[in-house]
């Protein structure tokens, strides 16, 4: 496919002092009103810091023995929904998280701490924060965004 045939990349815009893309803010009211449960586990990462890796590990630790079939029958984005994402072609992350029947619910986010729904703090949920060497993270994110068309040009 030639560049002229590619869909346009969305622009970054200032959202309450943070550069964001609309896929993270289109469902904002539902994100902020999301009701966490006391046993929820929030996986909080910077993009390309190991989010999927940690999601798989926690899913295996919590459900690998009791429901091993879920590893091959349910995609990771449904087992561990991305709370703020609203990519129109998929069910919004808030809806996927609400539909989870597992306990604990594993939910991931790239939101800065000030944007995490208050209910996670009110319910005293556990948070798994993942950090990666900043240089490695930058290189990974750059190469990912070269092929990922849902974010601005890297």
Residue 78 lies inside a defined structural domain of this protein = yes
The pTM of this model reads: 0.91
CB of 55 within 8 A of CB of 79?
A: yes
For residues 125 and 38, the answer to whether their CB atoms sit within 8 Å is yes
Is there a contact between 51 and 109 (Cβ–Cβ < 8 Å)?
A: no
Given 83, 110, 120, 141, which residue is catalytic? 110
Between vectors from CA 89 to CA 85 and to CA 92, what angle results, nearest 5°? Answer: 35
- Which domain CATH number covers 40? 3.40.50.300
Classify residue 149 by its DSSP letter.
T
Give catalytic status of residue 143 as yes or no: no
Rounded average pLDDT per 10-residue block, the chain, 154 residues: 70 94 95 98 96 96 91 94 93 97 97 97 98 96 89 80
154 domain residue, yes or no: no
Number of independent structural domains in the chain: 1
Domain interval for residue 51: 30-131
């Amino acid at each position: 496919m030639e560049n002229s045939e590619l869909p346009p990349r969305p622009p970054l815009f200032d959202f309450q002092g943070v550069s964001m893309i609309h896929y993270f803010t289109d469902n904002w009211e539902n994100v902020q009103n999301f009701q966490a449960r006391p046993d929820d586990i929030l996986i909080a990462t910077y993009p390309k810091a190991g989010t999927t890796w940690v999601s798989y590990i926690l899913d295996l630790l919590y459900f690998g023995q009791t429901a091993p079939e879920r590893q091959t029958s349910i995609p990771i984005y449904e087992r561990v929904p991305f709370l703020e994402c609203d990519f129109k072609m998929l069910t919004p992350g808030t809806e996927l998280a609400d539909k989870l029947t597992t306990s604990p619910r594993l939910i991931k986010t790239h939101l800065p701490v000030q944007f995490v729904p208050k209910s996670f703090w009110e319910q005293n949920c556990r948070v798994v924060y993942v950090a990666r060497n900043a240089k490695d993270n930058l290189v990974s994110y750059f190469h990912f965004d070269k092929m990922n068309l849902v974010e601005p040009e890297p």
